[in-house]
Amino acid sequence: MNPSKPNDSSAAPDLYKERILEAARELFTANGLEAVSMHAIAKKAGIGQGSLYRRFTDKGEICSLLLRDSTERFLSSLEMELALPEAESDALGHLRRSISRIVGFIEQHAELLQLIKSEFTGKKQLTQFEHPFFRRLNEFLTQLLTRAAAAGEITDVDPQFTATALIAVLSPDLYLYQLKHHSSTKEQITDGILALFVTGIQKRQ
C-alpha cells in the first residue's frame, strides 16, 4: 500500500481521495466488486486516471481503506478482550467464541476481504498470512492457543503452526466457496471450523 504521510492534524483533507472512496463504495454496492474497474471509479468520481493512480495503485488498496476503520475496531476489540483478567482462564472457550466472531466478520466483509487479499498477494507475490489483517489475527490466535496449551486444555500441538493453519481456514476464499458451491450457512461453516480447531485439539479427560 502507499506509504503513509506523517500524521499532521493540520493538513487539509484530500478531497479527491474522499471522492474516490465514495464513488468506489457506490459502484461496489450497485455492481459488485469484480464488475467495477479503476476506470469506472475514476469516471464516477469525476477525476482523471492519473489523479486516481497517484492515490491508489489498484482496487485492493481502495478496499483496504474502505475497510480500515471496521477492521481496526474489530481487531482491537479482540486484543482488548485478551488483556482482561478473566481471559486468563478458559482459553479454549475464549478461542471458540473468538472463532465464531471472526467468521461473522468474514461473512459481513467477505468480498472486500477477498479482493484485498487477491490484490495483495498478486502484486507482491506474498501470501495472505503476510497481510496486516491476517498477521494480527495470527498473533491473537497464537496467544490464545499458547494459553490453552499452558493450561493443559489442548493436545500437544504447536500453537503458532495451529494458528497459521487456522488462518488458512478463516479465509474469505473458503467462506465464499462453501457459500456459493455448497450452499453452506454461516453456522455450518463455523461448526466445521470449531470441530477441527477446538473440539479436534481439545484434551480428553
Q: What is the pLDDT of residues 110-146, one digit of tens each?
A: 888 887 777 666 666 567 788 888 899 999 999 999 9
DSSP 57-113: SSHHHHHHHHHHHHHHHHHHHHHHHHTSGGGGS-HHHHHHHHHHHHHHHHHHHHHHH
CA–CA distance, 88 with 176 (Å, rounded to integer): 34
CA–CA distance, 59 with 64 (Å, rounded to integer): 9
Provide, for the chain, the percentages of residues in helix, strand and coil under a 3-state DSSP scheme, each rounded to the nearest 5.
Answer: 75, 0, 25
Q: Residue for cell digits 478531497? A: 15
pLDDT at 119: 67
Confirm if 78 and 98 have CB atoms less than 8 A apart.
yes
pLDDT at 153: 94
pLDDT at 12: 59
pLDDT at 9 over 50: no
Mean pLDDT on 2-14: 49
Q: Give span(s): CATH 1.10.357.10, the chain.
A: 67-201
Q: What is the pLDDT of residues 62-84, one digit of tens each?
A: 888 888 888 899 999 999 998 88
Q: What is the pLDDT of residues 155-187, one digit of tens each?
A: 999 999 999 999 999 988 899 999 999 999 999
Q: What is the pLDDT of residues 12-61, one digit of tens each?
A: 568 888 899 999 988 987 887 788 999 999 999 999 999 999 999 888 78
pLDDT at 103: 96
Fold of 1-57: Arc Repressor Mutant, subunit A (1.10.10)
Cβ contacts of 192 within 8 Å, gap of 6 or more: 184
Q: Give span(s): CATH 1.10.10.60, the chain.
A: 1-57
Class of domain 67-201: mainly alpha
pLDDT at 11 over 60: no
